[in-house]
Amino acid sequence: MTVRKAAFSPAVPSAVVAVALAAGVVVSLDAREAVLATLAVQGGGLAVVGIGVASRRRGHRILGTALAVVGAGVIVGAFDLFVDERHALSYTIRFLPGLVGIPLLAGTLLPVWASGSRLVCKLGTGGVFLTVVFSGLFSAVGELHLLLAAVATVVAWDAADNAVGIGEHLGRAATSWRLQVTHTTGSAAVGLAGVAGIHLVRHVAVSDLSLAAFALLFVALLLLLAAIRG
Amino acid sequence: MPDAYLTDRWRGILVVTLGTGGFGLLARRPSLLLVAALGVVFAAYPRVSSPPEPSLRLERRVSDDSPTHGEPFEVTTTVRNVGDAWIPDLRTVDGLPPALSVVEGTPRHGTALRPGEAASFSYVVEARRGQHRFDPATVVARDVTGGHEVELEIDAETETAVDCASSVPRAPLRAQTTADTGRIAADHGGTGTEFYQTRAYRRGDAIGRVDWNRYAQTGDLTTVEFRAERAATVVLVVDARPAAYRGSKDEPHAVAYSVAAARELVDTMLANRNRVGVAGFGRDVPWLSPGTGRDHRVRAQDLLSRHATFQSRPPTGSVPDIDEQAAQLRARLPDDAQVIVFSPLLDDDLPETIRLLDSRGHAVSVTSPDVTGSDGPGETLVAIERDDRLRRLRAAGIPVVDWSPERSLAATLLDTPGVLDG
């Protein structure tokens, strides 16, 4: 009888949610065809990397390594589709971090590793968050859109971190969808409540605030946070 | 209940928040300040959530509590939230006995539980020889933010154990016996079941023992003698020193097999009217003086399955020297006691102790579970060294039963020449 080995790779449902949200954020920030094409090719490259790593783990070392290298090459090569002189520089600056972050995030959450990496999850979602910040900097999208994209990015990181943690604790074979749903729903609800609150203050309670007033509001929130932490 | 601790998993969000806020101020972008304000909400999120205080009850059922070796059996574990609070994240790792392996499903489960709600999970385990007691389940509970975590162990309401033992018809005993009647054939005539000799009739011989056929044929009165059967005083010594906690890959270690073999022989030898005691080498020298009877059987089984020296996990610290432990054992052994040692014989110290015991007048025999492998030169060397130890012990007149745990001990003993009925 074969003894079953536990696989402690990231939990699949949360991993899927994390990657879908991260990709959704980048695509939603007024992405054009080049970004979509890059993401699609990167997805294909990741699939080849996944098959390669899985083959290596099954003992096909040479074939597996070759596939993984080819897949990584496809991911890097996909940037050629994105780097186009017809785009404004701001467009490149906005999307480049996200297009680096998504393959990092999806790569570490592939269900073929012994376990995922929290640091790479942070780097991946960090890249997506930079795309959000740069979109705000270049005023590419509206405030509400920006806030919702920020919430989705944080929820993507939360889901990715949970996928890695649950994988480490319980393994991929264990049933854990209820707690994954709980965490992701909780974070999304808090984020959406935050967006609703901010939107309310911005557009209903006070109609026209100066930047200085915003800064003071932000400092007040930080002081409130410090009080809670204390 | 242990205190909850902070996981600090949201700590990075504050750095991102301050960075975004600063960037927004420098670039004069109110929208980025709003994103930073959202960051403050997330940074505060784990702080407004209270640490989990789970109150749980665990039940565990096994489909067969006395499976045969190699047979799969199902374990179903149920965790119930008996507290008043919702547990949004509950991760349970069942306390599978170290010697057993899961062949289907997983002993791990994650869920969220409302007050009064229960979650069950099942997995299939392959039975291995011996008695296996389940450990407490390890439970990790987190609040909804994942910012607070508490880890605790929960025992099942009723202890779960599986006993994968087979009955052994005979024990590897030697001819050192007591005057009591038992099952070991003595080298003189008496009452028994095996023919020994005929001799001339003597006054007082029982009339039922006279050979009437011979009398009818020859007219000579002769008496039939059967081989006398005697009982023995036996002390079973289990080697549970760190060196014995070795096993093939994915298989139980030798101590688990040795304890299982000792438990099987305790029953056999007590049923055959021998006086049986239990001892061991390892963390300590556990001792149960030789005795008989049903209560003594319970005491012996209890010592073998519960004493710290025989537990499944190897000792972490240093253990007393084997010479010191052997001296303690010799001081306690009755003069007429013979000894059965259970050891994988993976070091040179124990064979020396065995020879010394034998030379001091205690007939020693050895039952040795073979846990050596053949993967690579290291394992092959260990196996060769063990074979050499077995050969040298046999050369010194000490019977050794070389037991491959894939076979039952009973079958191995029946196939081993020179094993006496005990």
How do residues B56-92 score in pLDDT, each as one tens digit?
A: 999 999 998 888 888 899 999 999 999 999 999 999 9
Q: What residue spans of B76-232 are helical by DSSP H?
A: 212-218
Catalogue the E-assigned strands of B201-311. 222-230, 233-239, 275-281, 287-291
pLDDT at A2: 46
pLDDT at B62: 94
Q: Which of A112-116, A189-193, B281-285, B411-415 has the highest mean pLDDT?
A: A189-193
**A129, burial (CB in 10 Å: exposed 0-12, middle 13-18, buried 19+):** buried
Q: Which CATH superfamily is domain B233-414 in?
A: von Willebrand factor, type A domain (3.40.50.410)
When pLDDT is averaged across residues A11-18 and rounded to a whole number, the result is: 95
pLDDT at B207: 78
The SS3 of residue A167 is: helix
Q: Residues of B with CB below 8 A from A97's CB?
A: none
CB distance B137 to B165 below 8 Å:
no
Reported as type and span, the H/E element at residue B400 is strand B400-403
- Block residue for tokens 């305790």: B266
pLDDT at A85: 60
Torsion angle (degrees, nearest 10) of CA A192, A197, A202, A204: 120
pLDDT at B277: 94
pLDDT at B76: 96
B238 Cα to chain A: minimum distance (Å): 28
Please determine, for residue B190, whether its predicted confidence score (pLDDT) is greater than 70. no
Please determine, for residue B375, whether its predicted confidence score (pLDDT) is greater than 60. yes
Residues near A81 by beta carbon (within 8 Å), at least 6 away in sequence: A34, A37, A38, A41
Domain B56-164, classified CATH 2.60.40.10, yes or no: yes
Domains in chain B: boundaries: 7-48, 56-164, 190-230, 233-414
Nearest 5°: CA angle at B18, between B12 and B19?
A: 90
pLDDT at B130: 77
A230 Cα to chain B: minimum distance (Å): 10
Point out the least confidently predicted range of A63-67, A163-167, B198-202. B198-202
- Judged by a CB distance cut-off of 8 A, whether residue A211 touches chain B is yes
Reading phi first (left if > 0) and then psi (alpha if -120 to 50, else beta), residue A57 is in alpha
Q: Residues of B with CB below 8 A from A126's CB?
A: 16
List the one residue out of A221, A128, A202, A224 whose CA is nearest residue B37: A221
Distance CA B60, CA B133 (A): 12
**A176, burial (CB in 10 Å: exposed 0-12, middle 13-18, buried 19+):** buried
CB distance B161 to B134 below 8 Å:
yes
Distance CA A116, CA A15 (A): 10
CB distance B265 to B225 below 8 Å:
no
The interface pTM score, or ipTM, of the predicted complex is: 0.89
Interface test with B, best of A179, A195, A211 (most B CBs within 10 A): A179
Report pLDDT digits (tens) over B35-51.
998 998 998 898 888 88
Strand order in the sheet with B87-95: B5-6, B148-154, B135-142, B87-95, B108-113
When pLDDT is averaged across residues A180-204 and rounded to a whole number, the result is: 91
pLDDT at B227: 60
Percent of chain B exceeding pLDDT 90 equals: 46
pLDDT at A32: 85
pLDDT at A1: 44
Distance CA B187, CA B56 (A): 63
The SS3 of residue A87 is: coil
Contact state of A215 with B33 under an 8 Å Cβ cutoff: yes
A44 Cα to chain B: minimum distance (Å): 31
pLDDT at B187: 55
List the one residue out of B243, B317, B238, B318 whose CA is nearest residue B281: B238
Residues near B160 by beta carbon (within 8 Å), at least 6 away in sequence: B60, B61, B62, B75, B133, B134
When pLDDT is averaged across residues B299-327 and rounded to a whole number, the result is: 89
Contact state of B37 with A171 under an 8 Å Cβ cutoff: no
List the one residue out of A43, A44, A26 whose CA is nearest residue A35: A26
When pLDDT is averaged across residues B241-254 and rounded to a whole number, the result is: 85
Report pLDDT digits (tens) over B354-373.
999 999 889 999 999 999 88
Mean pLDDT of all residues in chain B?
A: 86
User: What pTM does this model have?
Assistant: 0.73
A70 Cα to chain B: minimum distance (Å): 34
Contact state of A169 with B108 under an 8 Å Cβ cutoff: yes
Q: Give the confidence band of B169 by pLDDT, cuts at 50, 70, 90.
A: low
- Judged by a CB distance cut-off of 8 A, whether residue A145 touches chain B is no
pLDDT at A215: 74
Contact state of B35 with A147 under an 8 Å Cβ cutoff: yes
